[in-house]
Amino acid sequence: MTLLQRLHEDRAPLLADGAMGTLLHLRGLPIDTCFDQLNVTRPDSITDVHRAYVAAGADVLETNTFGANRLKLAEHGLETQVGSINRAGVLLARIAVQDAARTVYIAGSVGPLGVGVQPFGRLKPEDARAIYAEQIAALVDTTDGQAGVDGLIFETFTDVAELLLALATARDIVRESGRAVAIFCHATFAPDDRTLTGYLPGRVARELRAAGADVIGVNCGAGPAQISRVLQAMRTAAPDALVSALPNAGFPETINGRTMYPAGVEYFADYALTFRSQGARLIGGCCGTTPEHIAAMRAALDAPPIDAPSRIRISVNGNHTNGTNGNGAAHDDDESLESIPRDRTLSERPSELAAKLRSGQFVISVEMNPPRSHNLERTLAAAELLRDAGADVLNIADSPTARMRVSPWAVCQLLQTRIGMETILHFPTRGRNLLRIQGDLLGAHALGIRNVFVCMGDPTRIGDYPDAMDNYDIVPSGLIRLVAQRMNVGVDQAGNSINGATQFTVGCALNMGATDADKEIDVLLKKLDAGANFALGQPVFDAHLAERFLRRYEQIAGQALDLPVLMGVMPLHSVKHAQFLNNEIPGITIPDAILKRIADAGDDAPNVGVEIAGELLSNLRGMVQGAYIIPSFGKYELAARLIQTVTTL
């Protein structure tokens, strides 16, 4: 039975091996050794480690080839030995299992290239494909008596685009070989459960599944607890996918010059059962795990079935613990919580939105109004419709038109965890004092929200509770400055530490159709100086307004506007709707020609409204970097149709 058949025909999980480099380091080799080269210079050392994992009960051995690509080997002057090192890695694993009393599969380990692929690095995609192809072909090779691997394990990828490129390359090579080689794709997530390029687990799972990975999963990371959390999110987003989990043995520590990992073998044994209960088909270890960890997992998996251990997890700044302060002592106030360092700036670890804007991608966002209810099922269903249509991000409004609605924080968190879509939290300054503003922002960040749209908010006098408090301590440009220049560097407004920098991408409001363009530009310049990362534009129905505004901005500022703008677009659905907007909403003017088209359309007005919106966005291309679709009265189906129209432009 091939590895691929075993994965599909038997629900019992396979047990993978643990770390290779950890054992070699513990046996005296420096951590900066080229471990891949040992396949040809010290083959017995590699075979001994493989045999130890076979004895511990591993069903799958990974070859010692994680860094055996041309770029990484070049750091040691070995770039011409890619083929020989990878083939030797396969041979050594085969030698180690030849006397095993059971079937043990061999999987070729392939890691990232170590150099960023465009647009996040200097390496061209076609060059990256060639480098991956060289290594993968050597691992799959069965010519001249070579055994070839049973599977390929891509692991420790922080850039999903690079992982998708590697997957596509592998699929081509496997198809050409005519062999049944299983392909495992593993991403690695930072402590906030995002990849370093900002991807949430749900999106990673969906994209890898759609690209044809046989097994999707997560490896490395902060330890079993985080891996379990990410795995669950992946399973929710792609319930029909086969998944795998290969955690580190916790965070590494340096003790007497040695890199050590704290997670014990019993802890790993418990989590083997947790991963099994989550449906993992491959369970094993990554950095810091040893044959003892794998043996404990083997014993747990082979024991009579019991309920997976329950775990109460407390979330602190995106880190999860078992209710202790990390040293085994229970904490009962936040003064005892361990500080979690943040050593990456926003530009190094952007949200998905920030990454797309920085790469120049045309971004499609849709505004959603939270319901006047605690029941969010219809909202979730609408979000799934928009996601499937191709929306990049969802804007969640906060009490639009000053009407009472469920908290937008709750909606953002549910959308991100339940359907894997990133959100933009609308954050009005009105009705909040400085204490609440900062506390709310920290709460949003703790929930995984990374994008905030700062605005003034609607006055309470127009809403459900006209006598409600309407004061504010800070104007939008001041709040943008507070987030971008204070909280994003780790302090509050008063300069007190907040135990690590937040990682917000901050948006501001913009009205390109403003009657007084000079005043609007003056306010915009203040927002830019404060640190705004993007703008959401008020809806326009005439592309010439945007063109005129941008020309005037360049005249005043002395340079073109260097801020990504997602232009507001509102699909019209009836004459009554168009007349209401034109006559009653300040700042919106609909040209007579558009009013006539909607009137002449009759019952077909919704379709014509989508056409008009699509034409407008087509005319705006080159002037703005995205669409901010605002469907009226919850008509998300029109927004979905507009998205499909935009993606074909």
What mean pLDDT is predicted for residues 71-83?
94
Q: Lowest mean pLDDT: which of 52-66, 185-199, 538-552?
A: 185-199
Question: The domain 3-309: what is its CATH number?
Answer: 3.20.20.330
Amino acid code (one letter) for 464 = D
Query: Looking at residue 310, what is its pLDDT?
Result: 40
| Residue environment code for 306-318, b if the CB has 16+ CB neighbours within 10 A, otherwise e | eebeeeeeeebbb
Query: Looking at residue 404, what is its pLDDT?
Result: 84
Query: Looking at residue 299, what is its pLDDT?
Result: 94
Q: Are the C-beta atoms of 317 and 340 separated by less than 8 Å?
A: yes
Q: What percent of the chain has pLDDT over 70?
A: 90
| Position 263 confidence tier, pLDDT thresholds 50, 70, 90 | low
Query: 401-460 pLDDT, tens per residue?
Result: 778 889 998 999 999 888 888 999 999 988 888 888 999 999 999 888 999 999 888 777
Partners of 451 in the β-ladder: 505
Query: 149-164 pLDDT, tens per residue?
Result: 999 999 999 999 999 9
In Å, how far from its chain's centre is CA 414? Answer: 15
Q: What is the CA radius of gyration of the chain?
A: 27
- Angle, helices 224-237/265-277, rounded to nearest 10 degrees: 10
| Position 143 confidence tier, pLDDT thresholds 50, 70, 90 | confident
Query: Looking at residue 26, what is its pLDDT?
Result: 78
CATH 3.20.20.330 domain residues, the chain:
3-309
pTM above 0.75, yes or no: no
Query: Looking at residue 497, what is its pLDDT?
Result: 85
Query: Looking at residue 399, what is its pLDDT?
Result: 83
Amino acid code (one letter) for 568 = G
DSSP tag of 330: B
| Position 500 confidence tier, pLDDT thresholds 50, 70, 90 | confident
| 223 has pLDDT over 80 | no
- Rounded CA separation 401/385 (Å): 25
Task: Calculate ∠ Cα 112-118-350, nearest 5°.
Answer: 85
- Other beta carbons within 10 Å of 334: 8
Q: Are the C-beta atoms of 201 and 170 separated by less than 8 Å?
A: no
Amino acid code (one letter) for 519 = K
CATH 3.20.20.220 domain residues, the chain:
352-646
- Rounded CA separation 66/73 (Å): 11
Tell me which residue has tokens 């850039």: 159
In Å, how far from its chain's centre is CA 438? Answer: 25
| 258 has pLDDT over 80 | no
Query: Looking at residue 324, what is its pLDDT?
Result: 34
- Other beta carbons within 10 Å of 371: 16
Query: 163-211 pLDDT, tens per residue?
Result: 999 999 999 999 999 999 999 999 999 877 888 878 889 999 999 999 9
Query: Looking at residue 464, what is its pLDDT?
Result: 67
How many angstroms separate the first and last alpha carbons of the chain? Answer: 48
Task: Calculate ∠ Cα 198-274-54, nearest 5°.
Answer: 95
Amino acid code (one letter) for 564 = P
Tell me which residue has tokens 């685009």: 161
DSSP tag of 310: P
On the CB side of 363, CA atoms within 13 Å amount to: 29
| 643 has pLDDT over 50 | yes
- Rounded CA separation 187/179 (Å): 25
Query: Looking at residue 43, what is its pLDDT?
Result: 94
Query: Looking at residue 584, what is its pLDDT?
Result: 67
Residue 168 burial (C-beta neighbours within 10 Å; 0-12, 13-18, 19+): middle
Query: Looking at residue 432, what is its pLDDT?
Result: 82
Average pLDDT along the chain:
86
Number of residues that this document lists for the chain? 649
Name the class of domain 352-646.
alpha beta
| 327 has pLDDT over 50 | no
- Rounded CA separation 225/167 (Å): 27
User: In the structure encoding, which two tokens stand for residue 265, read together?
Assistant: 């073998």
- Other beta carbons within 10 Å of 469: 11
| 585 has pLDDT over 90 | no
